[in-house]
Amino acid sequence: MSDTKNNWPLWEVFIRSKQGLGHKHVGSLHASDAEMAIGNARDVYTRRQEGVSIWVVPAESISASSPKDSEALFDPANDKVYRHPTFFVLPDEVNHM
Amino acid sequence: MNKSQHKQALLRLGDDALILGQRLGEWCGHAPALEEDIALTNIALDLIGQTQSYLSLAGSLNKNDTQTDDQLAFHRIERDFQNLLLVEQPNGDFGDTIVRQFLFDYYALFRAEHIASQTFDLDAAAIAAKAIKEIRYHADHSSKWVIRLGDGTDESHSRVQKSLEKLWKFTGEMFTVDEIDIAGAASGLLPDLDSIKTKWDSAINAVLKDATLQRPEDGWMQKGGRFGIHTESFGFLLAEMQSLPRAYPDATW
């Protein structure tokens, strides 16, 4: 969707919940500047105690992988079991990780 | 401060929030942007929450004649409402709404800060303490918008300057001392309005400066809301707000 000069820029919103470790993408909104974007994100995306921290990023700053490249990007990892740390036997003293 | 004055002081707090919340609710579905629609209605809900607390408290003061918050909100007539005239002004355009909010928010904030710290009425103090967090956000929201609109395009600047001049005559009432304010200040429940005015002036002036807006001259100030004399549009507001509970007085959710 192109943003004409009549539309506010689009921002992507990431929220970290109280118990969470990382900010998760929750949606997007329009705002004229970063301050308004944070205020709007607070109003739209944290009404039900969803989070304690907000990140907003202009949508145009985000680069995403293309779906048509998914095979080449992700399939090769499927059958490389040696990359997973599952063969190492932990000593008893640290075996409760 | 006697019981009747105490009740009136609390009614004023509840009525300010109720009528302003009702006005903001009229924006639901009609705001200029989706995000702002949610912002305005969130503010309305915060205010209605404050209303419920203050009106319930007011209604419980006289043990021989208790009233619920719903009874006070939906079954009083115009002459018994004690809200400021400022908060009942029609929504107008977005600038009118934002300026109305801006002028009220800083008054409400400094008033709530006082009430939260007094010990005459601990229930009111608890309500105010919770309200402060909400009002701080409202004041931040409205002042940022005043700055964006004022220091915006030529059109937004002239529209919001006009809103400021249209609403300025309702600001005097916020700081007009009457019998309730005197009794309230003596007991500690209500703040000294002169000191609230000083804080309000300095907060308002700072924002207006950033917004490149001209503070209007103090002229004649409209009064009446605090003693039940309201403007014409108040009748329509009450009719809309009260029509359902009055038509079905026994209805429950």
Q: Dump pLDDT digits (tens) for B211-246.
A: 999 999 999 999 999 999 999 999 999 999 999 999
Angle between helices B3-25 and B94-117 (to 10 degrees): 150
For residue A35, give its domain range.
10-94
Cβ-in-10-Å burial (0-12, 13-18, 19+) of B138 comes to buried
Residue A52 placed within a domain: yes
Please give, rounded to a whole number of angstroms, the shortest distance from the CA of A11 to a CA of chain B: 12
Residue A40 placed within a domain: yes
Residue A11's DSSP bridge partners are: A29, A58
- Cβ–Cβ < 8 Å for B22, B45: no
CA angle B228, B230, B233 (to 5 degrees): 145
CA angle B40, B136, B241 (to 5 degrees): 40
Q: Where are the beta strands (DSSP E) in B99-188?
A: none
Residue A3 placed within a domain: no
> Looking at residue A23, which CATH number applies to its domain?
3.10.20.520
- Cβ–Cβ < 8 Å for B201, B209: no
As for how many domains chain A has, the answer is 1
pLDDT digits (tens, 9 = 90+) for A26-35: 999 999 999 9
What average pLDDT does chain B have?
A: 96
Q: Encode chain A in three state secondary structure.
A: CCCCCCCCCEEEEEEECCCCCCCEEEEEEECCCHHHHHHHHHHHHCCCCCCCEEEEEEHHHCCCCCHHHHHHHHHHHHHCHHHCCCCCCCCHHHCCC
Cα nearest neighbour of A30 on chain B: B35
The whole-number pLDDT of residue A48 equals: 87
Q: Is A5 on the interface with B (CB under 8 A)?
A: no
Quickly count: other Cβ atoms within 10 Å of residue B62's Cβ. Answer: 13
pLDDT digits (tens, 9 = 90+) for A43-77: 999 988 888 999 999 999 999 999 999 988 888 88
pLDDT digits (tens, 9 = 90+) for A11-47: 999 999 887 789 999 999 999 999 999 999 999 999 8
Q: Kindly report the CATH class assigned to B3-214+226-247.
A: mainly alpha
Residue A1 placed within a domain: no
Residue A19 placed within a domain: yes
Cα nearest neighbour of A35 on chain B: B144
- Cβ–Cβ < 8 Å for B125, B187: no
Chain A residues with CB under 8 Å of B140 CB are 39
The model's pTM is 0.90
In chain B, domain spans: 3-214+226-247
- The answer to whether the Cβ–Cβ distance between B35 and A47 falls below 8 Å is no
CA angle B245, B249, B253 (to 5 degrees): 70
pLDDT level of residue A1 (50, 70, 90 thresholds): very low
Residue A34 placed within a domain: yes
Cα nearest neighbour of A32 on chain B: B148
Residue B78's DSSP bridge partners are: none
- The answer to whether the Cβ–Cβ distance between A32 and B33 falls below 8 Å is no
Q: Is A18 on the interface with B (CB under 8 A)?
A: no
Q: Give the one of A30, A35, A47 whose C-beta lies nearest to B35's C-beta.
A: A30
Q: Is A60 on the interface with B (CB under 8 A)?
A: no
Q: How far are the Cα atoms of A17, A45, B19, B160, B222 from residue A48, in angstroms, in the given order?
A: 11, 8, 25, 33, 40
Backbone angles phi, psi at B251, to 5 degrees: -65, 145
pLDDT level of residue A2 (50, 70, 90 thresholds): very low
Residue predicted with more confidence, B30 or A4: B30
